[in-house]
Structure 1
Amino acid sequence: MPESIENKTVFSLLEVSRSIQKTISERYQSLYWIKAEINKLNHYTHSGHCYPELVEKQNGKIVAEMRSILWKSDFNRINKQFIELLQEPLRDGITVLFQAGVSYDPMYGFSLRIVDIDPAFVLGELEKEKKESIRKLHDEGIFYQNKQLPIARLPKRLAIISVETSKGLSDFYQIIQRNPWGYRLETTLFPALLQGDKSIASIIRQLANIAERADGYDAVAIIRGGGGEVGLSSYNNYQLAKAICIFPLPVLTGIGHSTNETVSELVSFKNAITPSELADFLLQRFHDFAVPVDRLQERLVKAAQHHFDRENQKLQQFGQLLSWKSEGYLQRYQQLLTDFQQRVQRSSHQVINHQKITLQHLEKLVQLSDPKHLLQRGFSITRINGKAIKGTAALKIGDIIQTELLDGGISSTINDITDGK
């Protein structure tokens, strides 16, 4: 009961809480279907209970927030339904339609006790968002923009948006790096969140980083492991799909599922069902280029070999012809040389004989011109100062002259000079 203090009616906190509890229990006796986003599931494994944080957003801002309770037995049943229909468990960041009772507890406050969640509603919400994103992109005329970009004949410089620990990324790397043909791709990882609401901003941010250095890459690949429809919901987001549409490089997607393509996959240059298939696509590009080159190389080798064989045959034929002709020329010129040698020998004998006769005549002339022969015939040689005297013009009275005779010589002094004219 309330008490009176200084003419004031005062209620205790417990009384107020119980009054609220009574009012709510009387007012909200039924179960209600409510739509809200699970901001955080808060599943505690040791107890098995969940305490989801529920929010409603308008234009990206939270306009309502409330705590809730999902007991272990209800959670296990609902989670099983999600896995069967959506191929993934109940998780954070999804908008759900749930059935709950409204309650108030004096100790724990106001809450919603969730007893059921409709997994089919989640699929409907995803499909609704997908159709709206597609409509906007078509209205803006950019839906096919990325698909119309040219791609390098050999897209070897690849920027990858993924999580380093992703199994899909690991599968992609193994196929690329262990290809039996030795094709080499240069990959740069740009880490990003790939699931949940935060993945949208994370992927867009990395796309912006890559766009700043677009000259360094041939294409961008968004790679993640497998997942159900709910896990892929962010890829239906209009902002993310638009970022892919207007991106300056071809965007390749391999996000690991085989049904119902997301908007991001629909607008990308190339969508592969799995990261492994995306790796095969890239290797096939190299293969499509390498096979014709290899065949052309084989044709060139065969053509060159054929040409060499033909020219070698010509050389052999020419060598044989040259051998035959050179042998004939050698025999002919050898005969000419022999004839020339014989003529030279004959001519040299004649020249030598002639020269011998000439030398004999010269020898006789030299012998005849020897002064001794003149001296034997009674002539003498007169000299002055060692020089033979040819006339009287070089003489004068008193000069001493020497006269050479056959058996000796005499010296005389000139006493008189007679003119022979």
Structure 2
Amino acid sequence: MPELINNKNTFSLIEVTKSIQKTLAERYKSSFWVQAEMSKLNHYTHSGHCYPDLVEKKDGKVIAQLRSNLWRDDYIKINRTFQSVLKEPLKDGIKILFLARISFSPAYGLALRIIDIDPSYTLGDLEKEKQETIRRLKEEGIFGMNKTLQLPLLPQRIAIVSVETSKGYADFLKVIDANEWNYKFFHLLFPALLQGEKAVESINNQLDRIKKVIKHFDVVAIIRGGGGDIGLSCYNHYQLAREIALFPIPVITGIGHATNETVTEMVSFANAITPTKMAEYLLQKFHNFSVPVQKAEDKIVDRSRRILSEEKTKFRSEIKLFRSVTQNILIKNQNNLTERVQSLSRQSRFLFRNERESLTTIKQGIGKGSGILIVSGEQAINQAMEKVFNRSLLFLKDRKVDLINIEK
């Protein structure tokens, strides 16, 4: 009841709030469906209750907002349905169509008590966001740009965006590092959150880090895995999809689900259903190179062996023929040489005999001729001496006459 204070009917705050509570309870007896954006879920793990902040926006501005309550049992039921239908949990920033009752508490004020949420409405909104992202990327002409890049023949250097404790990351390393063919890879982890409202920012930050050392890598691998199909809506986000579409080296994804391909997977260079399949994809690239090389090596070895065998047989035949020919030539030359030696011996004996006879004749001739020459020589000497003597006498006679003339 009101209290009269200074001639004024005055109500206490509890009376006012209880009156409002009563009025609202009488006016809004049944539940009703409401559409709004859940800007913040405000889930408290210790109690299990949620206190979502609901807003309605127009042209980016908030035109209405209200607090709501989602009690633990209702939250568990609704969240399980969301994960089953949307493959997404309840989270911040989604549009919802929910069944609610007006709730008013004198202590906490007005709120909507959420009883149920229709996942098909949110699914439609998420699909709308996905299609909008695809439309924008195609309008900008960048939707398929990453797919046009050239993957190195042997993509050995891998920049990995993942969580160090992720099962998918562990599976990837197990396959890639312990491969039975002993292919060698270099990989470096760039840790990031892979689901939730902070995933887009976290992944993009790591992609920016990779850009700074891009020359050290051949490919980027985004490895989620281990989370089933839950929490994939961030991979339809425009900013993340755009970053991957424009990335300067190929980006391959192993997000780890089998249905409902995300935009990130659509724009990436290649997509694998699981991290294990991604590792096998990279190993296959090595196979594509090594298997033909191995086959070529085997073919070369086989061909070389056959050529060597053929040439060895041919060589042996040539050696055999060579030996036969050389033996015939040697025998023939030996016979020719024997004949020539015999002929030379006969001719030598004939020549020696002729020369001996010639020398005997010359000797006899020299013996007869030498006596005649001696006699002729003695005569010539005597004549010369006589001539000298006579000339000497004439000379002396002339000198004597000259002396007599001088004395006169």
Given that 1:57 and 1:63 are in contact with CA atoms closer than 8 Å, whether structure 2 keeps it comes out as: yes
Deviations 1:365-403 (A, max 9, x none): xxxxxxxxxxxxxxxxxxxxxxxxxxxxxxxxxxxxxxx
Cα gap change, 1:282/1:225 in structure 2, threshold over 3 Å: closer, same or farther? Answer: same
1:219 matched to 2:216? The reply is no
- Map residues 103-114 of structure 1 onto 2, 5 A cutoff: 103-114=103-114
Aligned match of 2:116? 116
Q: Which residue of 2 aligns with 1:196?
A: 196
Distance 1:156 1:64 in 2: 54
- Residues matched between the structures, number: 342
1:120-155 CA-partner distances (Å, limit 9, x unpaired): 122111110011111111111111111111111111
Matched, 1:272 2:300: no
Distance in 2 between the 1:200 and 1:64 partners? 28
**Which residue of structure 1 aligns with residue 37 of structure 2?**
36
Shift of 1:26: 4.8
Superposition deviation, residue 29 in structure 1:
4.1
Q: CA deviation at 1:25?
A: 3.6
Counting only pairs closer than 5 Å after superposition, residues 15-30 of structure 1 correspond to structure 2 as 15-26=15-26, 28-30=28-30
Q: 1:62 to 1:226 in 2, by over 3 A?
A: farther
Q: 1:184 to 1:94 in 2, by over 3 A?
A: farther
Distance 2:278 2:62 in 1: 39
**Paired residue secondary structure (1:195):** coil
8 Å Cα contact 1:228/1:257 also seen in 2: yes
Confirm or deny: 8 A CA contact 1:33 1:98 kept in the other structure: yes
CA contact (8 A) 2:177 2:184 kept: yes
- CA distance 1:228–1:303, shift in 2 (3 Å): closer
Aligned residue number for residue 86 of structure 2: 86
Letter in 1 for 2:208: A
Q: Say if 2:258 is the partner of 1:258.
A: yes
CA distance in 2, matches of 1:67, 1:330: 119
Give the structure 2 partner of residue 240 of structure 1: 240
2:210 alignment counterpart: 210
1:156 alignment partner in structure 2 = 156
Written as runs of structure 1 = structure 2, the 5 A alignment for 1:64-75 is 66-75=66-75
Residues 313-392 of structure 1 mapped to structure 2, 5 A cutoff: 313-320=313-320
Deviation at 1:186, TM superposition (A): 1.4
Give the secondary-structure state (helix, strand or coil) at the position aligned to 1:248: coil
Q: Is the Cα contact below 8 Å between 1:126 and 1:230 reproduced in 2? A: no
Compared CA separation, residues 57 and 111, structure 1 to 2 (3 A): closer
Cα offset for 1:299?
Answer: 1.2
Contact conserved, 1:158 with 1:185, CA < 8 A, in 2? yes
Distance in 2 (alpha carbons) for counterparts of 1:55 and 1:211:
39
Q: Where is the helix percentage greater, Structure 1 or Structure 2?
A: 2
Partner Cα separation in structure 2 for residue 242 and residue 215 of structure 1: 21
Residues 63 and 301 of structure 1: CA distance in aligned 2, closer, same or farther (over 3 Å): farther
Q: Distance in 2 between matches of 1:61 and 1:222?
A: 35
- Provide the C-alpha distance between the structure 1 equivalents of 2:44 and 2:154, rounded to a whole number of angstroms: 48
State the distance in 2 between where 1:62 and 1:329 align: 115
CA drift of 1:285 comes to: 1.0
Distance 1:257 1:107 in 2: 46
- Shift of residue 38 of structure 1? 5.7
Structure 2 CA distance for partners of 1:233 and 1:274, relative to 1, 3 Å:
same
Q: Does 1:174 align with 2:170?
A: no
Quick one: structure 1 residues 109 and 229, their matched pair in 2 at CA, closer, same or farther if it must change by over 3 Å? Answer: farther
Q: Share of identical aligned residues, percent?
A: 49
Q: Aligned AA for 2:273? A: I
Distance 1:102 1:186 in 2: 59
Task: Return the offset for 1:315.
Answer: 4.3
3-state secondary structure, aligned to 1:197: coil
CA–CA separation in structure 2 for the residues paired with 1:241 and 1:83? 23
The more displaced of 159-168 and 67-76 is: 67-76
Q: Secondary structure at the match of 2:180?
A: coil
Q: Provide the TM-score with structure 2 as the length reference.
A: 0.72
CA offset at residue 11 of structure 1? 4.7
Given that 2:83 and 2:230 are in contact with CA atoms closer than 8 Å, whether structure 1 keeps it comes out as no
Secondary structure at 1:280's aligned position in 2?
A: helix
CA contact (8 A) 1:30 1:101 kept: yes
The equivalent residue for 2:49 is 50
Cα distance in 2 between the residues matched to 1:190 and 1:57: 38
For residues 154 and 82 of structure 1, what CA distance do their matches in structure 2 show? 42
Distance (whole Å) between structure 2 residues aligned to residue 230 and residue 83 of structure 1: 6
Separation in structure 2 between the aligned mates of residue 181 and residue 36 of structure 1, nearest angstrom: 53
Q: 3-state DSSP class of the match of 2:147?
A: coil
Contact 1:38 1:52 in 2 (8 A): no
5+ residue gaps, structure 2, are 346-408
Task: Find the aligned partners of 1:243 and 1:5 in 2 and give their Cα distance.
Answer: 68
Distance in 2 (CA, whole Å) between partners of 1:19 and 1:117 is 30
User: Match of 1:283?
Assistant: 283
C-alpha contact (below 8 Å) 1:79/1:90 kept by paired residues: yes
Q: Which residue of 1 aligns with 2:350?
A: none
Query: Would you say the 8 A contact 1:88–1:227 is kept in 2?
Result: no
1:137 — aligned with what? 137
1: distance between equivalents of 2:227 and 2:54?
25
CA RMSD of aligned residues (A): 3.5
How far the C-alpha of 1:310 sits from its partner, in A, is 3.3
Task: Specify which structure has the higher proportion of strand.
Answer: 1
Three-state SS of the structure 2 residue aligned to 1:235 is: helix
Alpha-carbon offset, residue 244 of structure 1:
1.0
* TM value normalised by structure 1: 0.70
SS of match in other structure, 1:172:
helix
What letter corresponds to residue 247 of structure 2 in structure 1? F
Deviation per CA, 1:136-175: give whole Å up to 9, x if none.
1111111111111111111111111111111122221222
Q: Residue type of the partner of 1:208?
A: D
Distance 1:297 1:236 in 2: 47
